[in-house]
Amino acid sequence: MVAFTSDVSQNKYLPAGGTEVHAVVTVTAADDRGAGTPAGPGTGGPGSAAEVILLDCSGSMSGRKIKEAANAAAVAIDTLRDGVAFAVVEGTHRASMIYPRETALAVASAETRAAARAAVGRLRAHGGTSIGEWLLLARELMLARPDAIHHTLLLTDGQNGEDENRFTQALARCEGVFQCDCRGVGADWSVAQLRQVAQKLLGSVELLREPAQMAADFQAVIAAAMGREVDRVALRLWAPKGATVRFVRQVLPEVDDLTARATEVSPLVRDYPTGAWGAGTRAYHLCVDVPAGPVGAEKLAARVSLVVGDDVLSTAKVLAAWTDDAELSTQMDKVVAHYTGQAELARAIQEGLEARQEGDLSTAATRLGIAARLAAAAGDSATLARLDKVVEIEDAATGKVVLRGVVDKLDEMDLDAKSTRTVPAPK
């Protein structure tokens, strides 16, 4: 099983009359069986997995891409452990079953894996791209297995051809039913579209530059999905009477704003869905406005728990204390400062790239300069390297950058797709 622990980082001191409380809650899920122990053959009981692979088979996939996609799907199928419920779906302007033939999930075994591999080997590219339709078929398949941990892997190489309404309605119907990791291959898909899917369905977005990268990536995604053991975990936030929750956002491993996803449990308690958990660390930055107390008083500003239903997996307390010592109240906690910077970094990259596409070059240079400064301050060398392909970084410490004249579209998309990724706060 997975054991949860949580830590709070905050400066609890507020000036007289101060109301705004910030804290970062870092939650670590540790696999207490020891790393690498397989979960064992699925029993079909609670906690078993259901996996649907959604493959773009539209006309633009023809040639090397569809061959590599079929190859990658075969590797993914081989990564499914025995007993996992699975299906492979062909996505075009509609969605149809590749394996099994009927609209149902198959149970993974040596025999069904071989049959599924053979079926994906026969794929042909044809037709358009309707991502909403693909997701709705996955939903139908998943609903037949309500007890499982539901995960899908979506691969596309192009932009969605559906009208916006149909797409957002399909997304809304899938929310909470399954999680979806999205992969874009080549340079013709839209980072914003897949990010919309990933954020709604608690997954990730990744650019695959080369079709040949697919197999290794699919294997990693499926292995991670197989490692998830605790499903429907919610972050439960209690704040005192009179308090307002300004925001709750995940800040590690990726920036993801949860504020609008709250469901009210009671007038003072809200749940924010976090999906299924395997071993790993996630951090949440929350900001709560509490009624100001007198100087010298201390009170609880928030109680943050990870829950499954009403079972509490871990809990952490966020405090507020009022002081007239300005030295105490003006200090910013290092971890809060780090993740505030990381969230700003993600926003600066996205806004900078957007301005660049719109031809507003001075805004683009300013925003991407801020991004370079924040990435350098956080010691985030991977982001700096991605930035360096879009701007020439003259001085990272001050954020002085010059836009590059010629930029590879793939480099720009990669910077955008990975903009939400964060690095952990230094210990």
Tell me whether residue 245 or residue 268 sits nearer to another protein (CB atom).
Answer: 268
Among 187, 265, 292, 403, binds another protein (CB under 8 A): 292
Site for another protein in 17-56 (CB under 8 A): 17, 19
Question: If binding is defined by CB under 8 A, does position 321 make contact with another protein?
Answer: yes
- Distance CA(260)–CA(128), nearest Å, equals 33
Rounded to a whole number of angstroms, the minimum distance from the CB of residue 235 to another protein is 18
Both structure tokens of 75? 């590797």
Stretch that binds another protein, among 40-48, 193-201, 240-248, 347-355 (CB under 8 A): 240-248
Question: If binding is defined by CB under 8 A, does position 324 make contact with another protein?
Answer: yes
Q: Are 386 and 418 in contact (CB under 8 A)?
A: yes
Stretch that binds another protein, among 115-123, 155-163, 297-305, 336-344 (CB under 8 A): 297-305
Among 37, 102, 241, 359, binds another protein (CB under 8 A): 241
Identify which of 93, 1, 16 has the alpha carbon closest to the alpha carbon of residue 47.
1
Among 7, 16, 161, 271, binds another protein (CB under 8 A): 16
- Distance CA(392)–CA(374), nearest Å, equals 16
Question: If binding is defined by CB under 8 A, does position 260 make contact with another protein?
Answer: no
Beta strands in 225-310 (DSSP E): 230-238, 244-252, 256-257, 263-266, 269-277, 280-289, 298-308
Residue 16's Cβ-count burial label (10 Å; 0-12, 13-18, 19+) is middle
Stretch that binds another protein, among 118-126, 233-241, 336-344, 382-390 (CB under 8 A): 233-241
Q: How many chain residues interact with another protein (CB under 8 A)?
A: 27
Rounded to a whole number of angstroms, the minimum distance from the CB of residue 414 to another protein is 41
Tell me whether residue 17 or residue 121 sits nearer to another protein (CB atom).
Answer: 17
Question: If binding is defined by CB under 8 A, does position 300 make contact with another protein?
Answer: yes
Among 93, 126, 209, 317, binds another protein (CB under 8 A): 317
Site for another protein in 355-384 (CB under 8 A): none
Tell me whether residue 118 or residue 300 sits nearer to another protein (CB atom).
Answer: 300
Rounded to a whole number of angstroms, the minimum distance from the CB of residue 390 to another protein is 39
| b/e per residue 346-382 (b: at least 16 CB within 10 A) | bbbbbbbbebbeeeeeeebbbbbbbbbbbbbebebee
Stretch that binds another protein, among 38-46, 234-242, 328-336, 357-365 (CB under 8 A): 234-242
Stretch that binds another protein, among 74-82, 300-308, 359-367, 404-412 (CB under 8 A): 300-308
- Distance CA(10)–CA(336), nearest Å, equals 7
- Distance CA(416)–CA(259), nearest Å, equals 22
Rounded to a whole number of angstroms, the minimum distance from the CB of residue 267 to another protein is 9
Question: If binding is defined by CB under 8 A, does position 327 make contact with another protein?
Answer: no
Residue type, 314: S
Alpha helices, H only, 51-122 = 64-79, 110-121
Question: If binding is defined by CB under 8 A, does position 312 make contact with another protein?
Answer: no
Question: If binding is defined by CB under 8 A, does position 320 make contact with another protein?
Answer: yes
Among 123, 171, 287, 290, binds another protein (CB under 8 A): 290
Residues forming a β-bridge with 421: 254
CA angle 103, 116, 69 (to 5 degrees): 105
Both structure tokens of 100? 């099994």
Among 30, 215, 268, 377, binds another protein (CB under 8 A): 268
Question: If binding is defined by CB under 8 A, does position 299 make contact with another protein?
Answer: yes
Q: Are 264 and 272 in contact (CB under 8 A)?
A: no
Question: If binding is defined by CB under 8 A, does position 121 make contact with another protein?
Answer: no
Residue 308's Cβ-count burial label (10 Å; 0-12, 13-18, 19+) is middle
Q: Are 2 and 278 in contact (CB under 8 A)?
A: yes
- Distance CA(73)–CA(113), nearest Å, equals 11
Can you give the binding site for another protein, defined by CB under 8 A? Answer: 16-17, 19, 238, 240-243, 268, 289-301, 303, 317, 320-321, 324
